[in-house]
Amino acid sequence: MDIIELLRREFNPRQVIVDETSLTAYATDESGEGPYYPRAAFLAQSPLEVEKLLRLASMEGFAVTPRGLGTGKSGGALPVCGGVVLAMDGMKRILEIDEDSSLAIVEPGIITQTLQQAVWEHRLFYPPDPASLDTCSLGGNVAENAGGPRAFRYGVTREYVLGMEAVTMGGKRFNLGRKSIKGVSGYDLTGLLTGSEGTLAVFTKLIMRLIPRHREPGIVLAFYADLASAARAVTALLSSSVHPMALELIDGYSLKNITGIEGFAPPAEAGGAILCEMEGLPDDDALLERLADILEGGDPLHIDVAMDPSACRRLWTARRNVSTRLKENHRYKISEDIAVPRAAIPAAVAQVQEIARRHGLHMGCYGHAGDGNLHVNFVTDDDGARKNFAMAVEELFVTTIRLGGTLSGEHGIGISKKRFMALEHDPNSLDMMHAIKKAWDPQNLLNPGKIL
């Protein structure tokens, strides 16, 4: 039977989207890939509906692509094989906040910031903070194992997923993981599904670990003449006894692109900056002095300090808008998110700059330096130079792997990076990944065409 007819017969037709204009929203994401149109989108409201859809898909042989809020940067939510997009953003309830056990049980479509704000009211904190936190879903974060600036201090999403309810292709529902912080009981299937990019199962409920609220943070922002000096200051900070919540590196080109946002005004000659956020800084002069000493070792042009919540929020707004501004200010942009061992940051920065120069491209390089995670954005307004994107990206990945790094620190592989997987993984590892995919989804119908 035709997919659309089947869906309309089995579900409330109002939850089945089929007209091309509305489907446009499901044909793209923030990766710049596509558009890839599905036959239909299904707006799920309950785990039972997810089960039923995946049972029908297996019986009728159509592909299903889970989708959160479509902010993914590697094309994970794009229906490259057509079929049905399973929109999870309607399942967004907080089911429980357990203050005594410091955990929350939620549906996967909840916006990450909504969860953060809700648990804060209970004197608890959910740390993962992707720059997209007000527009992305927790389910998407778990599927991509999302990071963010504060991953440096608190770790990435994986560290906060205690357990989940998940449904596999065919409609089998699993309860995985636990509510306790510790647990060594059988294979860690929760860990396997975290970061699996919606290719093994669909999450319908998530059990998330929370921690106590942190003290008020302050920010020190140091500007340097060039990116290499800023990168060296990062290395000095990393080997000191100071432990920031976030340690971000921003290159001169990115600084220029965000100038003016919320009054952000870097020195005109700045070629790089470090943003260092520290808990308790407003009440600790000795800590501020120690931090300033370390940063001054790199001979900064200027140091700014933000000690009250609104000044900190303004700086974070500017930092979080780097990617958006680079996109708005250029006709063409391609962004990657490599990660290298921390000690290799200065070498990575130098080599990435050289790649951009060789290919006649501008580059905005910024990111979570504390984790060695750099967002490398090649941008241009020139049709000719745009043709060099593919070569520049390939050289970027070869360089990254040589430095002991990885293709993606937090955005995942999706469709954008899958052709480079063999650069990083040996053939036996890739065979094992294929075998895992086959065990969970033997018909290759759940988010096909991704990662492998």
Ligand X SMILES: Cc1cc2nc3c(=O)[nH]c(=O)nc-3n(C[C@H](O)[C@H](O)[C@H](O)COP(=O)(O)OP(=O)(O)OC[C@H]3O[C@@H](n4cnc5c(N)ncnc54)[C@H](O)[C@@H]3O)c2cc1C
- Pattern of binders to ligand X over 86-125, x per CB under 6 A? --x-------------------x-----------------
Long-range contacts of 93-99 (CB under 8 A, 24+ apart): 94/118, 95/205, 97/122, 97/124, 97/210, 98/179, 99/123, 99/124
Helices 227-238, 345-358: axis angle to 10 degrees equals 160
Q: Among 47, 83, 140, 298, which residue interacts with ligand X (rule: CB under 6 A)?
A: 140
The token duo for 5 is 């007819």
- Closest C-alpha to 156, from 189, 201, 194, 184: 194
Number of residues that bind ligand X (CB under 6 A): 37
* Binding flag, residue 70, ligand X (CB under 6 A): yes
- Closest C-alpha to 202, from 89, 84, 66: 66
* Binding flag, residue 141, ligand X (CB under 6 A): yes
Q: Among 38, 47, 79, 130, which residue interacts with ligand X (rule: CB under 6 A)?
A: 130
CB of 102 to ligand X, least distance (A): 23
* φ and ψ at residue 287, rounded to 5 degrees: -65, -45
Q: Report whether 280 contacts 291 (CB < 8 A).
A: no
Q: Closer CB to ligand X, residue 48 or residue 268?
A: 48
Q: Closer CB to ligand X, residue 208 or residue 291?
A: 208
List CB contacts of 155: < 8 A, sequence separation 6 or more: 127
Residues 245 and 417: their CA atoms lie apart, in Å, by 30
* Binding flag, residue 277, ligand X (CB under 6 A): no
Count of all residues that appear for the chain in the document = 452
Write down the residue that tokens 């053939």 correspond to. Answer: 427
Residues 351 and 128: their CA atoms lie apart, in Å, by 30
Residue 341 CB neighbour total at 10 angstroms: 13
* Binding flag, residue 202, ligand X (CB under 6 A): yes
| Residues 315-374 contacting ligand X, CB under 6 A | 323-324
Q: Among 26, 62, 126, 203, which residue interacts with ligand X (rule: CB under 6 A)?
A: 203
* Binding flag, residue 139, ligand X (CB under 6 A): yes
CB of 179 to ligand X, least distance (A): 20
Q: Which helix or strand (DSSP H or E) is residue 273 part of?
A: strand 272-279
* Binding flag, residue 148, ligand X (CB under 6 A): yes
Among the listed ranges 146-154, 263-271, 278-286, 395-403, the one in contact with ligand X (CB under 6 A) is 146-154
Is residue 128 packed enough to be buried (19+ CB in 10 Å), middle (13-18) or exposed (0-12)? buried
- Closest C-alpha to 162, from 133, 189, 135: 189
Q: Among 47, 72, 127, 300, which residue interacts with ligand X (rule: CB under 6 A)?
A: 72
CB of 83 to ligand X, least distance (A): 12
* Binding flag, residue 417, ligand X (CB under 6 A): no
Q: Closer CB to ligand X, residue 88 or residue 227?
A: 88
Q: Closer CB to ligand X, residue 388 or residue 408?
A: 408
Q: Closer CB to ligand X, residue 295 or residue 415?
A: 415
* Binding flag, residue 146, ligand X (CB under 6 A): yes
* Binding flag, residue 77, ligand X (CB under 6 A): yes
Is residue 294 packed enough to be buried (19+ CB in 10 Å), middle (13-18) or exposed (0-12)? buried
Site residues, ligand X (CB under 6 A): 29-30, 65-73, 76-77, 88, 108, 130-132, 136-137, 139-141, 143-144, 146-148, 197-198, 202-203, 323-324, 410-411, 447
